[in-house]
Structure 1
């Protein structure tokens, strides 16, 4: 993809976003933030969460 094609694509996406009603943009943003919380569990299961809790517990008990 050349630089000119990329600029054209980005311009089209920005115009689409600006033409979208504000309520729809808010819903879209809220859906994206809800999905971010479950991303690590979706890809790696519960292990990253358990590891994070273990590290947090160790650091708070040693302080």
Structure 2
């Protein structure tokens, strides 16, 4: 029976080997395909702001 630590090491090792075997052009293409940080988190920031603001306004009412 393999422990979860062994499975994790195996998974990470496989990912590293695949990364090392890929040519540099593939790495550059993957990096270019990534979303910008602001585009990824733009939907979360207004949500976080509204949650924070609602907690703040509840404290004022008490």
User: Shorter-chain TM-score category?
Assistant: 0.5 to 0.7
Q: Which blocks of at least 5 consecutive residues in structure 2 are unaligned?
A: 48-62
- Which structure is higher in helix share? 1
Give the TM-score taking structure 2 as reference length: 0.56
* Segments of 4+ moved more than 4 angstroms: none
Where does residue 40 of structure 1 map in the other structure? Answer: 41
Query: Larger Cα Rg: Structure 1 or Structure 2?
Result: 2
Give the TM-score taking structure 1 as reference length: 0.56
Give per-residue Cα distances to partners, 1:40-59, cap 9 Å, x unaligned.
23x348x47xxxxxxxxxxx
Quote the RMSD (CA, aligned, Å).
2.2
Q: Which blocks of at least 5 consecutive residues in structure 1 are unaligned?
A: 49-63
Task: Report 1 or 2 for greater relative contact order, CA contacts < 8 Å, sequence distance ≥ 6.
Answer: 1
CA shift, 1:15, in A, is 0.3
